[in-house]
A and B are shown apart, each in its own frame.
Chain A
Amino acid sequence: MVDMEVNQIQPKAEVQNLNFYYGSFHALKNINLFVPANKVTALIGPSGCGKTTLLRCFNRMHDLYPGNRYEGSILIDSINTLGRGVDPIEVRMRVSMVFQRPNPFPKSIYENVAYGLRLRGVNNRLLLDEKVEDALVASALWDEVKNRLFESALNLSGGQQQRLCIARALVTDPEMILFDEPTSALDPIATTSIEELVLELKKRVTILIVTHSMHQAARLSDYTAFMYLGEMMEFDQTKTIFTTPANKKTEEYISGRIG
């Protein structure tokens, strides 16, 4: 299922025999996947297929709620982040996340971006100023907000809020950013700007994105994984998945027959 070309590229993260349970519900079944470094990898599949569940394993978000259980491993730079001795907070410091609905904190634009640095004990004003500006420039928001950094982030439009959340995720120089349907609450123009941003960002980070839109997966991603009912059906280069899928289910989904 995984061809030679995929095997040659450098993996940033590798999922090995991952099973995940919400209580007694077996949500992810023996998932294997690798996420190439500095590429965009898309997770697609019909609603309820487990793509968001898989995404949230990468930064151990499931640990926040009781009754969730992982089996197997997710290696990031060869370290098993699901291992017993690993602190989920350490994992989240290296793997950022951008959510479906923009979720800026009720703080100023500046403090929203600075949040991750403040958590890490950075209080040096000069350093904060520099990092905040870098992150806002990288998220293509700087020109729009540079004159009102200390106004509430809640006054920004939905698309701006989402770019602010991306700046917030970027500021701590994460190695990987997880996007959970980042444009599904946005209008088409805001969606385009977020997509352009994702393409720009892959130069500096590895990106894993869940999307319900096959067009978005086709436009953005280098690699695509198709999931169905908690199982990994197919993983390959995006162009292969969309032109000559190996799996019959993938073809049915791509052509709109299931979903």
Chain B
Amino acid sequence: MTREKKLEKSAQLSPKLVRDVREKIIELVLFLAAFSAVATTVAIMYILIKESWLFFNEVSVIDFLTDRKWTPLFVEKHYGIISLVSGTLVTSGVALLVAIPMGTIAAMYLSEFAPSRLRELIKPCLELLAAIPTVVYGYFALLFVTPMLQKILPDLPGFNMLSAGLVMGLMIIPFISSISEDAMRSVPVGLREGSYAMGATSLQTAWRVVFPSAISGISAAYILGASRAVGETMIVAIAAGLQPRLTWNPLEEAATITAYIVQVSMGDLPHHSIEYQTIFAAGLTLVLMTLVLNIMGHFLAKRYREIY
């Protein structure tokens, strides 16, 4: 057959078939792309749960949740995750105490008050905060913020959760401010005008109308900020210390879950040892904490969702 005839034949036979096959292939590629995220989540959860399962065969869940010490690497072993959870919650709490007010205020200023030129200047600077590597923040906390705090609080130890939490708060501000700002800017002009038309000032409009109208987006920003804080590793590992300790006092040194994981992962523990499995049990705890935050965020967003 000549080439032309071949072409003619294929053109006669298959326009629909070729199109269908091509569509199917493209659909499959798209599906695989979307599925990869799901597959990754499932794979991570599978490994976490499998290794944790082995861990919980050795250590009872009751001990894990109620023991007040976390010393899996010592001769006298204790597996009380609460000592790590407390460190995580305290550093995250300090961080959010900084990031939520400052992020919200920054967002409100940028969305409602700043002249557009100034906004174009401030926004990139703020977003640059998120681009700084966290290891830099860690050293900033350890070598700059802690010595400064020690001038006010002379008894403050070199490693402490306050300094780590404060700096982590700075790091989180751009996440909170940029999502909150988007949420506030997408509040319809009609609502703002409705408020101004009643004789409201800019501040009253921002605080009484724009903020509540954008609350679903803003609460999502807070939850995202909290997830970042709970999962943050480098800053706390460098500046808050690596000593697991059950304390709620931010002026003390204490390890977080993440700091413990990074510390142990960098050592050379034999696989399938109980020490090795603690990483997964701690990791599972961390994932469950962020999962709870995300579910809370989901419900908050739904609860406050506004239909404009």
Contacts and interface: CB of A to CB of B under 8 A. Distances in A.
Given A106-B212, A106-B213, A107-B212, A101 B190 contact: yes
Interface string B197-241: 111110010001100110100000000000000000000000000
A89 B201 contact: yes
B150 to A, nearest CB: 46
Nearest to B196: A64
Contact of A105 (B194, B196, B199, B201): B194
B306 interface: yes
Interface stretch (A23-31, A73-81, A90-98, A194-202): A90-98
What size tier do the contact residues of chain A reach?
20 to 34
B212 A89 contact: no
A41 interface: no
A186 interface: no
B195 A61 contact: no
A172 B194 contact: no
A103 B201 contact: no
Interface in A100-158: 101, 103-107, 115-116, 118-120, 154
A105 B193 CA distance: 11
Given A106-B213, A154-B307, A116 B193 contact: no
A119 B204 contact: yes
Contacts of B199: 89-90, 92-93, 116, 119-120, 172
Contacts of A89: 199-201
Contact of A172 (B193, B196, B198, B307): B198
Contacts of A115: 195, 198, 208
Contacts of A90: 199
A103 B193 contact: yes
B307 A59 contact: no
A39 interface: no
Nearest to A97: B197
B216 to A, nearest CB: 10
Contact of B200 (A61, A101, A104, A119): A119
A105 B191 contact: yes
B72 interface: no
A120 B209 CA distance: 15
A163 interface: no
A99 B193 contact: yes
B297 to A, nearest CB: 19
A61 B197 contact: yes
A61 B196 contact: yes
Interface in A171-188: 172
Nearest to A152: B306
A105 B212 contact: yes
B106 to A, nearest CB: 22
A175 B218 CA distance: 38
B188 interface: yes
A172 B199 CA distance: 10
Contact of B196 (A92, A104, A120): A92
A165 interface: yes
Contacts of A118: 208
A21 B191 CA distance: 24
Nearest to A98: B197
B219 to A, nearest CB: 13
Most chain B beta-carbon neighbours within 10 Å: one of A61, A97, A115:
A115
A90 B198 CA distance: 10
Contact of B195 (A101, A105, A172): A105
A165 B194 contact: yes
Contacts of B213: 105-106
A10 to B, nearest CB: 25
A168 interface: yes
A99 B200 CA distance: 16
B193 A64 contact: yes
B188 A103 contact: yes
A61 B204 contact: no
B25 to A, nearest CB: 45
B197 A105 contact: no
Contacts of B215: 106
A101 B208 CA distance: 20
A106 B306 contact: yes
B143 to A, nearest CB: 45
B163 to A, nearest CB: 39
Contacts of B208: 105, 115, 118-119
A154 B194 CA distance: 15
7 contacts: A89-B199, A99-B197, A105-B212, A106-B306, A120-B199, A165-B194, A168-B194
Interface of A: 59, 61, 64, 89-90, 92-93, 96-97, 99, 101, 103-107, 115-116, 118-120, 154, 165, 168-169, 172
Given A59-B197, A169-B198, 16 more contacts: A64-B193, A64-B196, A92-B197, A96-B197, A97-B197, A99-B190, A105-B194, A105-B195, A105-B208, A105-B212, A105-B213, A106-B212, A106-B215, A116-B199, A154-B306, A165-B194
